Amino acid sequence: MKPHPFDYVRADTVDEVVDILAEHSDAARVLAGGQSLLAMLNLRLLEPEVLIDINRIAELSEIREVGGKVEVGAAVTQNRLMVWPGVKEKLPLLAAALPFVGHFQTRNKGTVCGSVAHNDPSSEIPLSLALLQGEVVLRSHRGTRAVPAREFQVGMLTTARKPDEFVTAVRFPVQTTRRVAFREVARRHGDFAIIAVGAIADGTRVSFGVGGMAGRPAVREITAGGDLVDTINALAWELEGYEDQHASSRMRRDLLRRVGPAVIEEALQCAG
């Protein structure tokens, strides 16, 4: 289908974006890569009055390291972060997760921040951000604030972003361990994950993250040596797993029981 009519604004500066958002609030949407937004417009799931294109704002297309964090600007595509020279060394979890994000063709345009702002419960980048305890930088005419991932991610497609704010960057802490594992189950490589699972091992402690089960990514700290099967089974019951056309709750819980312990073991067995 075709989108409902809207006004198009191509912003040249962040201030212009902020001004238009202050004026139109909820009726305006920021267009970054558009790989989720334009699909939703085409399906008429969204009918914004104004679309603000931020792709030509130079200051938003940077990847830089600031104070032990890698800051990724709102116009940086997923494929650009994937080939960023520091990604394997500094963000090994993301290096493992990014190949699962959509397809080669959608990663060419889809942005890292757009995925975080969209907050699909099965998305790999929001899950990685939660696992790495990163933060989201929001800007409005009231100023700039950085919100921890756990506070930003409220629920299914819902975030702490106020209607007049937009995501200018996300910050991923540089990892101190390279012992990571990431896997997901999908109908076709690149499709929405039925479940996605990531793990970061540090000594005998493992940060374990699950996407695709609840409204937002779930992260738990697990100590190696306990009964993993029991721990993951309890987590599967706690998260329940939602129902959609791809899988039932029961299938999601079962997939987590099968994939979860394997991913934790994989991270623990990685060489540092």
Binding region for other proteins (CB under 8 A)? 1-13, 16, 31, 34-35, 38-39, 41-43, 51, 53, 55, 99, 102-106, 108-109, 188-190
d(CA 60, CA 30): 13
Q: In 138-167, which positions are buried (b, 16+ CB within 10 angstroms) versus exposed (e)?
A: bbbeeeeeebebbebbeeeeebbbeebbbb
Q: In angstroms, give the least distance from the CB of 182 to other proteins.
A: 15
Q: In angstroms, give the least distance from the CB of 109 to other proteins.
A: 5
Cβ partners under 8 Å of residue 20, min gap 6? 9, 11, 28, 50, 52
Specify the residue, 46 or 160, whose C-beta has the smaller distance to other proteins: 46
Q: In angstroms, give the least distance from the CB of 107 to other proteins.
A: 9
Q: In angstroms, give the least distance from the CB of 14 to other proteins.
A: 12
Q: In angstroms, give the least distance from the CB of 15 to other proteins.
A: 10
Specify the residue, 51 or 200, whose C-beta has the smaller distance to other proteins: 51
For strand 7-10 and strand 50-53, is the pairing parallel, antiparallel, or unpaired? Answer: parallel
Nearest Cα neighbor of 113 from 91, 95, 128 is: 128
Specify the residue, 104 or 237, whose C-beta has the smaller distance to other proteins: 104
Specify the residue, 187 or 250, whose C-beta has the smaller distance to other proteins: 187
Q: In angstroms, give the least distance from the CB of 264 to other proteins.
A: 25
**How far is residue 81 from each of residues 12, 42, 57, 72, 112, measured CA to CA in Å?**
23, 27, 18, 8, 8
Specify the residue, 18 or 232, whose C-beta has the smaller distance to other proteins: 18
Q: In angstroms, give the least distance from the CB of 176 to other proteins.
A: 30
Specify the residue, 61 or 233, whose C-beta has the smaller distance to other proteins: 61
Count of C-beta atoms within a 10 Å radius of residue 176: 10
Specify the residue, 135 or 164, whose C-beta has the smaller distance to other proteins: 164
Quote the radius of gyration of the chain (alpha carbons, Å): 19
